[in-house]
Amino acid sequence: MGLIQTLLGTLTSTSFLPILIATLILTPVIYRLYLHPLAHLPGPLLYCFSSLPLYTICYLGIESRTLSYYHSKYGKVLRIAPNHVSISDGSAIHTIYVASGGFMKDARYHNFNLEGTATIFSSTDPAYRDARAKAVLPMFASGRVRGSGDEGGVMKQCIDEFILQFKAEKEMAWKAGPKGDANVDILDLSAKLSLDVVTGYLFNRRFGGLNEHAEDLKKREQDSNKEKKSSKLSLNPFIFTVVAFGRFSLFPNWLFKLCYRTSIRLNADEKLFASLVKIGTFVNGVVDDVKPKDDTYPSRLLAVGISKEETIKQCKAVMFAGTDSTSVKLATIIFHIIQNPNVLQRLKQEITELGQDPATDPQTFPYMRAVIREGLRLGVANSTRLTRVVPPSGFEVNGYYIPAGVVIGISPWMVHHNPELFPEPFKFRPERWMEDKKGTNGEVDLETDKRRKEMERDLIPFGTGSRACIARNLATHQLFMTVRALVESDVLVGAKTVKKRIEIIEWFNAEIKGHELEIQWT
């Protein structure tokens, strides 16, 4: 007993205390650097023994560009935290996300639960997710989606209203002259369109984003001296708040919840409260009014036994996803078309030649396909790594073995901006998608064919595999139909962008800086 007391006294003595503290700190550092199963992977020193640097770049919204720099320095497989790995090699996409259903989502996705409920997107349980996804997937079948863009379809109606508002803004800009308030926020207009399309198509009831400020627009048309009021979408505070929580998305769930509650208390204002009330009233009304014979998103969920309370939350989740990501992509495409008048002219020529019949599907237009693809490449709505957990069998990539349980992921932003595959990666060049795969002698150019296949493999704007965005067909068709309508209307002629380039904050859901993307006519 006396010996034990002596030892304890020595360990807690003032002279030994610094050594004890240093040992407690250095032991996990030494383990993570030299003994950890990932110790053989390259990566910046601080990232290898602490998660703090990764959390920091995630919070600051610079994750993808920072990791891109380190990949250029260390290689295509990069250790970015004690148990996290980033991969920049597109050849790994199929194994991680597609083959046999892909690797499982990691615990990070619990941070994307809506009001404490796992959504189709955030669920990490395949059985839970499949029960809900299978119920609604028929609504996203290609044939059904394309019917919404036909004459009389809800998508066609929404796009027609969108074009009319665009034309009215252009007309008022011309009348106002160089000193007038001629700026138009194409990101906000795109959000209003996307919200009405997704709600009108899935709920059979439009939210009414395009109509929220129609009366003010009409008054300004009648009186050019009428002051322009704020005309932003009322749902924006809800959308921006959800997007901003992405800065905490890598935190452990307990820490995320703490940051979430603190952020809400500090940042909540009347606009956010009004936005939450409005979306709640709208979705509650939609679900309350479901009839037994309805064929809508909520009716399909209710029909397979999903509770009314959860159905409301699933509807809110799909409203957010369908509005935010599609609006970012559409606004990005419009922005680059305006900045490249030659693209607009070539699109006009193609539509004139191939689209004389309004029923012709614009997805069959080769140059428009190239424009949309290039816009999707640059308009990355989910910019950071799509994280997954390595299965029990482990995973080998680029000569490195990664053991089970490690969190890995590939960033869409990173593969979309790979200079080896996309020369001048930050430039909008639709022609890169139209390179002829045949040589001068008519034979297939194997190198060009290989590069094209790799480009298509690495283009993942909606994710890929079984956990890809379930609404990708709806979003894609909306993009094609809207671009066609814009080009046919000539509303973009004479327009110019206020900013020279689009700046994004690289949270899980990328945010365009300033929440706006303005254009004007001169």
Instruction: Find where tokens 């299978």 sit.
Output: 134
Angle made by CA atoms 358, 348, 458, in degrees to the nearest 5: 90
Structure tokens that stand for 436 in this block: 């002829």
Structure tokens that stand for 274 in this block: 């009004």
Query: b or e along 422-444 (b: 16 or more beta carbons within 10 Å of the residue's beta carbon)?
Result: beeeeebbbebbeeeeeeeeeee
- C-alpha 76/C-alpha 91 separation (Å) is 11
What are the angstrom distances between the C-alpha of 465 and each of 122, 376, 453, 470, 472?
15, 17, 17, 10, 12
In terms of C-beta density within 10 A (0-12 exposed, 13-18 middle, 19 or more buried), how is residue 11 classed?
Answer: exposed
Report residue 498: phi and psi, to 5°: -75, -40
- C-alpha 505/C-alpha 27 separation (Å) is 36
Contacts (Cβ under 8 Å, ≥6 apart) of 429: 374
Structure tokens that stand for 454 in this block: 């790799």
In terms of C-beta density within 10 A (0-12 exposed, 13-18 middle, 19 or more buried), how is residue 282 classed?
Answer: buried
Q: With the CA atoms of 418, 422, 425 and 431 taken in that order, what torsion angle do they form, in degrees rounded to the nearest 10? A: -160
Closest CA to 456 of 423, 416, 484, 514: 416
Q: Indicate the annotated binding residues for heme.
A: 469
CB 42 within 8 A of CB 5: no
Helix (H), strand (E), coil (C) string for 350-398: HHHHHCCCCCCCHHHCHHHHHHHHHHHHHCCCCCCCEEEECCCCCEEEC
Please tell me the predicted confidence (pLDDT) of residue 41: 97
CB atoms within 10 A of CB 339: 18
CB atoms within 10 A of CB 304: 11
Instruction: Find where tokens 């926020």 sit.
Output: 185
CB 363 within 8 A of CB 396: no
Strands 511-512 and 504-505: antiparallel
| DSSP structure class, residue 438 | B
CB 383 within 8 A of CB 504: yes
Structure tokens that stand for 22 in this block: 């240093």
CB 350 within 8 A of CB 366: yes
Structure tokens that stand for 268 in this block: 């909540």
User: Looking at the whole model, is its pTM more than 0.75?
Assistant: yes
Please tell me the predicted confidence (pLDDT) of residue 4: 60
Q: Indicate the annotated binding residues.
A: 469
Q: Flag residues of the chain having pLDDT under 70.
A: 1-16, 20, 177-181, 219-230, 437-442, 444
- C-alpha 346/C-alpha 338 separation (Å) is 13
Structure tokens that stand for 311 in this block: 């159905």
Residue 343's identity, in one-letter code, is V
CB atoms within 10 A of CB 270: 8
